[in-house]
Structure 1
């Protein structure tokens, strides 16, 4: 069986140790494993054909998602499902999915005119960020109208959310199937490069984390949780994260891919689930 990983450029351009080990494990189990970075190859998009049994969508770039969409329309088996990834890429859609399912998530607003958000500051500070941002890029904490004024004119839609007060560190959750692992680290635009430190998770956080996967149709995913006085709040969800700081992350990932390939686990994207209900 051929597995093809659609991966992202790394800075610096060195292989991901987790993926390298994952490939070794899967090859040891008899799989053929290939990879590419969409931005570094020239492809005929109009002639693109399915040539792998399973595609592993690791990249979050627009080009990779577009190519995955072409493959999806031809019946490709994509993990995580293409529909799930394309929906979760938008924080606006993700926010609605979480709230509809009863998962604790911040109040959210959208507008093209940020000045309209200023009255919201009378109730609480705001987080304003790109609706398709990744790795913490472009996140703004706004406590005053002047903070909003300092945000550059956006070239992409923004989502405005209540800033949930927390202890100053995010709880990052990494999930592979029913395996749930917690890491804590302070948030910053470069925090994605830091492994963080392992922390035990509560039964409540575990259940929330697994519910996110069911609601979003994901099997390999991560989420950011703020532990507030009101309880845990999910502030971000992403598919196929880096699993930094997770012991035997490669083993977890390889086991889940193996289970998926052999039909022992299945995933239902949100749209498919809604149509079935």
Structure 2
């Protein structure tokens, strides 16, 4: 991905989705946007294709690379006129980009997704509890501050799936069938880990994406079944699966996201929630995501213009301080 307006050709094919989630036009005046993109995603299709589309529509888009730039927060966030209408994040779960996005939110600026929603989704232990509290089907979850503590999980809970609490891209996800197998697992003991019961499944996962316009579903080979004969493709979205995806978005406050789902004998179960995933095999993904970014930006701008003004009595704070002295 480049920081210029050079266009990137992206080819996508597949079946159109069945769920429309939002209506309304996008911004008509040019928006000023800042994409925070870490090195890992610099040459990926996403979010570069979204940047290209927005620029082709006449919007101003800068790309901030936290791995190679010292960010002047005062210049970035506190200027006489607002420098950017919104900030968009595409980084790894524990990367420095999250700090920059949180700083933008702390300054009262628009972020896509909402920075608090991203925090909820990226800490997998917190995400599990949030999903459970919202009534979303999610596996029972154990959290361990270091790998060695997982041996305290009862033997009758096996087989287990263990993975890092801040993992991404399905890396370091393991099935262990016994405490003895867990003891042989080669994982850094300083890693914060999650463990969940292994759920019987067809041997593949469903990746469900919400672009903000539509919900899509694709079949993806499971990291727990690497040898399974799986055709990775887009599939129609059953109504129950589409409603589950929308329920996750409402529970977390996300506009752009994906979920990993497994189909069990008891129905669909959500395994993971991802803000701004790859949207692989989703047709017209870049255009749909660009529309959502503009829609969220417009929504926030309208909310700011209609919010009641807050006035502070300059004498109240000293009085309160005197009262507590």
**TM-score per shorter chain, which class?**
0.7 to 0.9
1:148 aligns with 2:182: yes
The 5 A counterparts of 1:129-148 are 129-148=163-182
Deviation at 1:127, TM superposition (A): 0.9
Are 1:125 and 1:163, in contact at CA under 8 Å, matched by a contact in 2?
Answer: yes
Matched residue, 2:288 = 252
Deviation at 1:262, TM superposition (A): 2.3
Alignment counterpart, residue 41 of structure 1, candidates 64, 69, 74: 69
Q: Distance in 1 between matches of 2:222 and 2:242?
A: 21
SS across alignment from 2:240: helix
Q: Distance in 1 between matches of 2:140 and 2:301?
A: 33
Please identify, of 34-43 and 158-167, the stretch whose mean Cα deviation from structure 2 is larger. 34-43
Are 2:157 and 2:197, in contact at CA under 8 Å, matched by a contact in 1?
Answer: no
Are 1:48 and 1:70, in contact at CA under 8 Å, matched by a contact in 2?
Answer: no
Q: Distance in 2 between matches of 1:76 and 1:147?
A: 48
Q: 1:266 and 1:125, CA in 2 relative to 1: closer, same or farther beyond 3 A?
A: farther
1:68 aligns with 2:101: yes
Matched residue, 1:58 = 90
The 5 A counterparts of 1:93-108 are 93-108=126-141
Deviation at 1:244, TM superposition (A): 1.1
Q: 1:265 and 1:109, CA in 2 relative to 1: closer, same or farther beyond 3 A?
A: farther
Matched residue, 1:212 = 248
Deviation at 1:40, TM superposition (A): 1.9
Deviation at 1:20, TM superposition (A): 3.5
Q: Distance in 2 between matches of 1:46 and 1:129?
A: 38
SS across alignment from 2:142: strand
Q: 1:158 and 1:34, CA in 2 relative to 1: closer, same or farther beyond 3 A?
A: same
Matched residue, 2:233 = 197
Q: 1:264 and 1:82, CA in 2 relative to 1: closer, same or farther beyond 3 A?
A: closer
Q: Distance in 1 between matches of 2:277 and 2:248?
A: 15
Q: 1:47 and 1:18, CA in 2 relative to 1: closer, same or farther beyond 3 A?
A: closer
Unaligned runs of 5+ in 1: 268-277
Coordinate RMSD, CA, aligned = 2.5
Deviation at 1:133, TM superposition (A): 0.8
Matched residue, 1:164 = 199
Give me the TM-score of the superposition, normalised by structure 1: 0.85
Matched residue, 2:309 = none
Q: Distance in 1 between matches of 2:143 and 2:97?
A: 26
Are 1:221 and 1:238, in contact at CA under 8 Å, matched by a contact in 2?
Answer: yes
Per-residue deviation, residues 24-74 of structure 1 (Å, max 9, x unmatched): 322233310111221122234576525311001111343111122222211
1:28 aligns with 2:56: yes
Q: 1:241 and 1:100, CA in 2 relative to 1: closer, same or farther beyond 3 A?
A: same
1:229 aligns with 2:265: yes
Q: Distance in 1 between matches of 2:195 and 2:74?
A: 38
1:187 aligns with 2:187: no
Matched residue, 2:299 = 263
SS across alignment from 2:243: helix
Select the structure of larger CA radius of gyration. Answer: 2
Unaligned runs of 5+ in 2: 1-30, 304-325
Q: Distance in 2 between matches of 1:266 and 1:260?
A: 10
Matched residue, 1:128 = 162
Give me the TM-score of the superposition, normalised by structure 2: 0.73
